[in-house]
Amino acid sequence: MTKNFKVGIILIVAGFVMLLSQIGVIPGLSFLFMLGFGFIAAYVILGGRKEYGYVGFLIPGVILLAVASFAALEESAGAEGVNPGIFFLLLGLSFLAVFIVHTYWFKEPGRGDRFWPLYPAIGLILFGAFVGLVTSDQWLECFDLLNYLWIVALIAVGVWLMISSIRSGKK
């Protein structure tokens, strides 16, 4: 099959799914999941990791799955709702999935091209943890933990300096 034929099939399926959503056959939450899996299927059908350019299908696919998962959690949680930090954690995990599934396997591109999904993943996961902590009742307990974290950081930097000193001495 040629590339145009594959893209044609993808567009036809996307059109039918959108038509079914417009006439109310597919509810909103199911549509988000179907759209996310559709983008991932397009990524796989068009070649996935064989060419670097198809990551444009994987990224919206995993992000839509993260949004749909959060919406499903919100729907099932009822009146108490879900901690908003989970939304950012899910988005961070979606970029981590892009790294694990796609960019990790490329050996030719430079370091920035290969590891770029880790930057938004780490940022979103840390922000999600921060938002989750701030919106929870355990915010004040975190201050007790901070008393120990800076001590652990000092010890870790000390160990790193010692190891780098030993390595530079051997050269």
Confidence of residue 139 (pLDDT cuts 50, 70, 90): low
The residue assigned the tokens 């994987």 is 58
Using alpha carbons only, give the angle 20, 64, 93 rounded to the nearest 5 degrees: 155
75 shares its domain with 128: yes
34 shares its domain with 89: yes
Per-residue pLDDT for 121 more than 70?
yes
Please count the structural domains in the chain.
2
118 shares its domain with 151: no
What pLDDT shows up at residue 112? 59
Q: Tally the C-alpha atoms within 13 A of residue 164's C-alpha that lie toward its C-beta.
A: 6
21 shares its domain with 87: yes
155 shares its domain with 114: no
Per-residue pLDDT, averaged over 62-71, amounts to: 93
88 shares its domain with 151: no
52 shares its domain with 127: yes
What pLDDT shows up at residue 98? 92
What pLDDT shows up at residue 111? 56
Per-residue pLDDT for 66 more than 90?
yes
Residue 131: count of CB within 10 angstroms of its CB: 17
The CA-atom distances, in angstroms, between 41 and each of 30, 90, 103, 138 are: 16, 20, 17, 41
37 shares its domain with 86: yes
129 shares its domain with 152: no
Using alpha carbons only, give the angle 99, 105, 106 rounded to the nearest 5 degrees: 105
112 shares its domain with 157: no
8-62 pLDDT per residue, tens: 777 787 888 788 878 878 777 888 888 898 888 888 888 777 766 678 888 999 9
15 shares its domain with 59: yes
Give the domain extent around 74.
Answer: 3-136
Per-residue pLDDT, averaged over 61-73, amounts to: 92
132 shares its domain with 154: no
Pick the more confident residue, 13 or 119: 119
Burial environment of residue 90 by CB neighbours within 10 A (0 to 12, 13 to 18, 19 or more): buried
70-106 pLDDT per residue, tens: 989 988 887 778 888 999 999 999 999 999 988 877 7
